[in-house]
Structure 1
């Protein structure tokens, strides 16, 4: 979800570096779900929050990563609203690259079986779970 939410920030980079369009293919299934249902993104958020992050029957590692993805997604939504009020064009590419780095870091840590430690986000996730 955070990678899909960061796509609008990276439009300039997608235009300049066409090989980055591969990332669009990764987010395509989530985009289909969000666009096919009314309030799709809100429903996906509720399903992840209630079905995974708050469900004690789901393993801790899955709940941790789901909650972390939700918090990053909320942060990106807040940033997008702030950028509508204070339009700083250059900041969009930085936000996209930062989110991409968080995505790659989180995936690599999950492959190793370690909880991804993202400052501020991880502490908030532990308080939520």
Structure 2
């Protein structure tokens, strides 16, 4: 399966998790986890889906080791940051390093994505063959 679709699958799962969390918070009238809800939707649904769209439009960019590193960092950032933040907001301050590690993975994923885009943007274009 192409990397773009892995980004899509994880993004959709994150979107479902974010929506589920939002519904649960609304039903319970307990919005303690609102920051988690926001990060799941932004880092998970929005960012991962946009990354997937880029790789879908630029398929030559997804067959690189850097693209796989990008995926690993993005997913790790999502899981670590939202998982750590959830437990921190529930009173376990000792998990601050996990949340920080997740945030660093997320920003590293964006930096790697910049490199992927720049490499592809400055790559020489091949002339289309005729016939």
What band does the TM-score fall into relative to the shorter chain? 0.3 to 0.5
Give me the TM-score of the superposition, normalised by structure 1.
0.44
Larger radius of gyration: 2
Higher relative contact order (CA 8 A, sep 6+): 1
Give me the TM-score of the superposition, normalised by structure 2.
0.44
